[in-house]
């Protein structure tokens, strides 16, 4: 008795026409010509039994809600996905981190902050999904270009815990002339609390004494943020 194997066959990347394979497309047309799934496929290299690497990449993007979701996903969340595992998760996390560091450290690629929205866009992807409060700073040069973005505190962000000297430690080390403070609300609601306003006043006052201009304090929620400077909260004395 013959067995029909066609219904169990799943094409691999090697079954694709040469001009449709992600690596070859990148080589001939450049990375901008590739979809997110194709770029992920190049990182992951191989799929799994019954699923080629492009299909696996597409499934990951759908399951995690795009690149932003992949960036926020924990190592364990990714590693437990069928066809991924620890090695592929490490490759993805390393690539995402390299991209983030390049954005911050390359002199020609350093983003210039001209509005609260631009600052929030740099931080929301990572901070919007954190399960604990994190306090971070964007350290800026004389042209408001980002020098670094260190995490200052993890835990409850309030005036009884924060040591103001710690907030400015990296700013002094980097010779920053200005900074933007940001912290997240794990609840997803970025509405500032009275403590947030009090912390802002303390940081702005210290910055004035140190000669470092505190331009804003952003509270980040899920795909939303609030600028305390725009609302006049904590900056009212200056």
Q: What is the mean pLDDT of residues 37-57?
A: 86
Residues 94 and 149 occupy one common structural domain: no
Residue 140 resides in a domain: yes
Q: Is the dihedral of CA 74, 80, 81, 85 positive or negative?
A: positive
Average pLDDT over residues 43-60: 86
Q: CA–CA separation, 75 vs 93, rounded Å?
A: 8
Q: What is the CATH number of the domain that holds 14?
A: 1.10.150
Q: Which pLDDT belongs to residue 104?
A: 64
Of 105, 140, 156, which residue sits at a domain end? Answer: 105
Do 83 and 126 sit in the same domain of this protein?
no
Q: Give first-to-last CA distance, the chain, whole Å.
A: 87
**Mean pLDDT in residue range 37-54:** 85
DSSP state of 113: P
pLDDT at 49: 75
DSSP string, 7-54: GG----GGGS-GGGSHHHHHHHH-GGGS-HHHHHHHHH---BTTB-HH
Q: Are 139 and 125 within 8 A, CB to CB?
A: no
Give the domain extent around 147: 116-227
Q: What is the percent of the chain with per-residue pLDDT over 70, rounded to a whole number?
A: 85
Per the DSSP assignment, residues forming a β-bridge with 51 are 48
pLDDT of residue 108: 60
User: Using one digit for the tens of pLDDT, what is the confidence trace for 32-44?
Assistant: 788 888 899 898 8
> Number of structural domains, the chain?
2
- Cα 195 from Cα 173, distance rounded (Å): 27
pLDDT-based confidence at residue 1 (cuts at 50, 70, 90): very low
């Amino acid at each position: 008795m013959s067995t029909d194997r066609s219904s169990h066959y799943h094409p691999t990347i090697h079954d694709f026409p040469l001009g449709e394979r992600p690596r070859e497309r990148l080589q001939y047309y450049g990375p901008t010509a590739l979809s997110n799934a194709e770029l992920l496929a190049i990182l992951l290299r191989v799929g799994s039994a019954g699923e080629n690497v492009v299909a696996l990449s597409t499934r990951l993007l759908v399951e995690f809600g795009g690149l932003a979701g992949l960036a926020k996903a924990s190592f364990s969340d990714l590693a437990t996905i069928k066809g991924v595992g620890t090695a592929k998760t490490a490759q993805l996390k390393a690539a995402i981190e390299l991209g983030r560091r390049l954005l911050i450290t390359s002199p020609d690629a350093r983003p210039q902050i001209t509005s609260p929205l631009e600052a929030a866009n740099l931080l929301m992807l990572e901070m919007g999904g954190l399960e604990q409060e994190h306090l971070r700073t964007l350290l800026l040069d004389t042209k408001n270009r980002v020098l670094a973005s260190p995490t200052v505190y993890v835990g409850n962000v309030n005036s009884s815990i924060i040591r103001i000297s710690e907030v400015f430690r990296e700013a002094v080390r980097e010779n920053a002339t200005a900074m933007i403070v940001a912290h997240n609300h794990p609840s997803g609601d970025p509405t500032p609390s009275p403590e947030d306003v009090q912390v802002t006043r303390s940081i702005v006052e210290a910055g004035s004494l140190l000669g470092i201009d505190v331009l804003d304090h952003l509270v980040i929620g899920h795909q939303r943020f609030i600028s305390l400077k725009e609302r006049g909260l904590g900056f009212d004395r200056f």
